[in-house]
Amino acid sequence: SLRLHGTEEDCSDRTSSQCIRFRAQFTAFLQCFCTSEVQILPVCSDRIVLIMGARSQLWSIAKMSVTGGVIGVTISDRYVTVVAIKGHSMHPTMTATDSALRGDIVLAEKACLDQYKFSRGDVILFKCPSNHKEVFVKRLIGLPGEWIQLPASSEIIKVPQGHCWVEGDNAARSWDSRSFGPIPLGLINGRVTHIIWPPSKIGRVERKWPEDRIPPF
């Protein structure tokens, strides 16, 4: 039989009841694996009390991290979230580098997703229409119902209801509505309001748009 030793004199009242419970559970657990009888003698030794202490420590750390995670996810879904910029389509407003730490980090708010009311010139985060796993950041320059002049062919198109026209500030390296057309507003994930890194660029993100492409010209 398996025996664990200890001294009972070390027990305080609280730990002894915990020890009794732990002993019962541990015995039952070991019984599943041992064919011979399992016996655990009074186990208020320092070693078992340490195990009890470590167990409740781990449990409270686990509880705190789950609570923190749930609250963090809720805040990030409904109010404000932090995003690191990858890609060069918004240069020079926002730049990226190869490492996430040196690229720009921005603050995006989610309150705009309540009524989907945007203004021309807002910088928005949205899911790519041809790959739902990628998130793009571009500037919204055409609201539903407005007219936009395409740069290539000079023809004027109307942005359909429930859609918007997005373009990056860095026209040469931006894959945007000039290629994939107007996007449904439902793809929008948030609106970028501030840059919070690097320190030289900290501040609000201002609204601007190419004046020569939106009527009246």
Please report, as ranges, the residues that interact with another protein according to CB under 8 A: 67, 70-71, 73-74, 77-78, 115-116, 127-132, 160-163, 183-188
* Residues 193 and 102 sit within 8 Å (Cβ to Cβ): no
- Among 188, 186, 153, 181, smallest CA distance to 167 is for 181
Burial of 183 (0-12, 13-18, 19+ CB in 10 A): buried
Catalytic residue among 110, 138, 174, 177: 138
Q: How far is the CB of 70 from another protein (least distance, A)?
A: 5
Q: Is 110 a catalytic residue?
A: no
Q: How far is the CB of 96 from another protein (least distance, A)?
A: 22
- Closer to another protein at the Cβ: 57 or 74? 74
Side-chain-facing half-sphere of 96: CA atoms under 13 Å: 15
Q: Is 138 a catalytic residue?
A: yes
> Beta 80-84 vs 105-109: how paired, if at all?
antiparallel
- Closer to another protein at the Cβ: 50 or 73? 73
What gap in Å lies between CA 72 and CA 162, rounded to an integer? 30
Catalytic residue among 89, 110, 174, 177: 89
- Closer to another protein at the Cβ: 35 or 115? 115
Q: How far is the CB of 119 from another protein (least distance, A)?
A: 16
| Residues 6 or more apart whose Cβ sits within 8 Å of residue 79 | 109, 110, 111
- Closer to another protein at the Cβ: 131 or 200? 131
Q: How far is the CB of 62 from another protein (least distance, A)?
A: 15
Catalytically active residues, by annotation: 89, 138
